[in-house]
Amino acid sequence: MGFNAFTGIIAPETATCFSVLQVLDLQQNQIQGVFPSWLMNGSTTLTGFDVSGNSFSGSIPDSIGSLSRLEELKMSNNMLDGVVPVEITNCSLLRVLDLQGNRLTGEIPAFISELRRLTTLLLGGNGFSGSIPRISGEIFAMSNLSMLSLAGNELLGDIVANIGDLRQLSVLNLSGNVFSGPIPASVGRLYMLRTLDLSKQSLSGELPFDISGLPNLLVIALQENSLYGDVPEGFSSLLGLNYLNLSSNAFSGQIPSTFGFMKSLVVLSLSSNNISGSIPTELGNCSNLQVLDLHSNSLSGIIPNDLSRLSLLTDLDLGSNDLTGEIPNEISNCLSLTSLLLNSNDLSGNIPYSLSTLSNLKVLNLSENRLSGMIPANLSLIPGLVYFNVSYNNLQGEIPPSLGSRFNNPSAYLGNQNLCGRPLHRKCGAGRRRKRLIILTTVAAGAAFLGLLCCCFCIFALLRWRKKLKQQANGEKKPSPTRGSSAAASRGRGSSENGGGLKLVMFNNKITLAETQEATRQFDEENVLSRTRYGLVFKACYNDGMVLSIRRLPNGSLDENMFRKEAESLGKVKHRNLTVLRGEASGNVHTRGGGHSAVGEEQLQRGQIAELLEPGLLELDPESSEWEEFLLGVKVGLLCTAPEPLDRPTMSDVVFMLEGCRVAPDIPSPADPTSHHLPAVTQ
């Protein structure tokens, strides 16, 4: 009849039914009133009696001694008071005695030790007093005892050493008493122990190393004592450990990195100690960890990204330490987080926008750090968030309206001088103007930079265009004599006239004499490139970027008609290794030096040809066959100077081309009358 809503018990008219009843289960109902003693009268066949989880009051009746076959007596979580009746010793078969959660007082009776078959003794949550030494000889002689809970009483004194005699003990819970002194090393002999709870006492001293050798331990609860020493590294050998709580003690040193071996660990609490150093990255290997509580220590360094691998983590408390650096964005990978407490550290940087993905988050405390930037508006998208605090940071800007209306207590935002908006009493007008000014400045700077880039591009394009124009004017590729000499020689000659009626004959492009005079600055001395007995060579720079060399012959050195014919003949000679003759002008060319004849030569990138032809050639008759034969010899000779071997004629070709002519006529030379040579060629 357990787990119902019964509120009372009606006594039967006869007790016939009790003669065969073996188990009476009334647990977890709402039965009130004084415990009826008739429930135990005549129930000699009962083996199980459970009235736990009700509201019975009064004392345990003496008639309990009549239940001689009773094996389990459970009367926990009622309002029973008084003392344990001595008649209970008549229940010699009793294996389970659960009286916890009542109002029983006095000392723990020594006669309980007479219940030799007892395996479970639960007396916690009462008002028992006295000291363990007075009862140690009795209780600790029960060799079959596997569960012992005396928690939540007023027991005091030391925990005696012979507690190690309970070799079958799997659960030892002495928490919530006033025990003092050290933890006895004999606890290390309880090899069957699975739960060790000595929390909330006044225990002191260092932890016995022997505890690390209990292979079956699942729970170690030693919080709220005065224990000290380094955090025991030996606990890392307890691979099955689920719960480790050493908080609120005086432990020091560093968190052992070997704690990462405890893959079964679900709860790790080391808060409120004197632990220093950094948070070991190896804790990220504790894949089953759900609670990590390290607050109120002296931990330093950054929050390791490896904690983001704890996918089952629900509670992360790193508050009140000396942690630095930024809040890692990867913390949002812990999707099970319900509580994130990073307050009272030295964290900097922005609040990660990724925190909004923690849909299960209920508590977020980032107060008392050095966080900067703006509060992410998307934090208001966390549906279950009930506590939010970013006070005493360096945050700025407007509090997101959706967040400010949801958490409208100003204390959640205090201590941020540049933060404005509701629920703070600071308007954001100035901030908005400043923000608008920053935006305008940024846009203007960007536009100026873009304009500068455009100008640079235009200048670069212009320079490249001018360079290309120069290359076209100065670096025209001349056709090979074998393929294009005839075509070059047969081009039409253009001419233009200057203002004085003098004719400048050009063999290719049209250039006026006026332009030539301007290009040489009226044949100024500063433009002279070379001086020879056959005239001066001037540098002519035209407005379109073209550069030519102009040879000005001495006045009267040649007859005008003869000069013109010879210049036209030279214009027919085309080769890549010869300076190209672009045009000629003769007559009274008015310059600072009087009348002269001029010949235009192309200024090449590799240099200039100082002498076009040997001066003795000028004595040949241009109408004679010797002149034509000489020109043929020049052409053949130039073919033989081609840079590429494949462009040079073979000897049989040379013989064929020169057959029937004199290759080198007698040409007197002013320097050496016996010498005969070709015009100079500049490489």
pLDDT in tens, 35-88: 888 777 767 888 999 999 999 999 999 989 888 899 999 999 999 999 999 999
Q: Which domain holds residue 564?
A: 481-658
Upper half-sphere CA count for residue 458 (Cβ side, 13 Å):
6
Query: pLDDT tens, 462-474?
Result: 887 777 777 766 6
Q: What is the pLDDT of residue 681?
A: 30
Q: What is the pLDDT of residue 498?
A: 40
Burial degree of 490 (CB within 10 A; 0-12, 13-18, 19+): exposed
For residue 577, pLDDT over 60 is answered with: no
Q: Helix (H, G, I), strand (E, B), or coil: what is residue 530?
A: strand
Query: pLDDT tens, 217-235?
Result: 999 999 999 999 999 999 9
Q: What is the pLDDT of residue 66?
A: 87
Encoded tokens for 70: 């009773």
For residue 584, pLDDT over 60 is answered with: yes
Tell me the mean pLDDT in the region 613-642. 68
What is the 3-state composition of the chain as percent helix, strand, coil, each rounded to the nearest 5? Answer: 30, 25, 50
In a domain, 251, yes or no: no
For residue 650, pLDDT over 90 is answered with: no
The residue among 247, 160, 149, 241 whose CA lies nearest residue 200 is: 247
In this structure, of 24-28, 211-215, 433-437, the range with the lowest mean pLDDT score is 433-437
Whichever domain contains 608, its CATH number is: 3.30.200.20
In a domain, 327, yes or no: no
Q: What is the pLDDT of residue 617?
A: 59
In a domain, 522, yes or no: yes
Tell me the mean pLDDT in the region 280-287. 96
In a domain, 610, yes or no: yes
Q: Helix (H, G, I), strand (E, B), or coil: what is residue 257?
A: helix
Q: What is the pLDDT of residue 523?
A: 81
For residue 480, pLDDT over 90 is answered with: no
* Position 6 confidence tier, pLDDT thresholds 50, 70, 90: confident
For residue 412, pLDDT over 80 is answered with: yes
Encoded tokens for 63: 């008639």
The residue among 64, 81, 73 whose CA lies nearest residue 97 is: 73
Q: What is the pLDDT of residue 474?
A: 60
Query: pLDDT tens, 320-361?
Result: 999 999 999 999 999 999 999 999 999 999 999 999 999 999
- What is the rounded CA–CA span in Å between residue 102 and residue 79? 5
Instruction: Return the percentage of the chain with pLDDT > 90, whole number.
Output: 49
* Position 664 confidence tier, pLDDT thresholds 50, 70, 90: very low
Sheet with 394-398: strands ordered across: 348-350, 370-373, 394-398, 418-420
Q: Which residue has the higher pLDDT, 642 or 103?
A: 103
For residue 500, pLDDT over 80 is answered with: no
Encoded tokens for 68: 């001689």
Q: What is the pLDDT of residue 400?
A: 94
Q: Which residue has the higher pLDDT, 260 or 604?
A: 260
In a domain, 496, yes or no: yes
Q: What is the pLDDT of residue 335?
A: 95
In a domain, 638, yes or no: yes
In a domain, 182, yes or no: no
Number of domains in the chain: 1
Mean pLDDT for all residues in the chain = 81
Q: Which residue has the higher pLDDT, 296 or 632?
A: 296
In a domain, 300, yes or no: no
The residue among 131, 198, 189, 199 whose CA lies nearest residue 160 is: 131
Cβ atoms of residues 402 and 417 within 8 Å: no
Q: Which residues are registered as beta bridge partners of 276?
A: 254, 298
Q: Rg (Cα) of the chain, in Å, rounded?
A: 56
- What is the rounded CA–CA span in Å between residue 464 and residue 558? 44
For residue 656, pLDDT over 80 is answered with: no
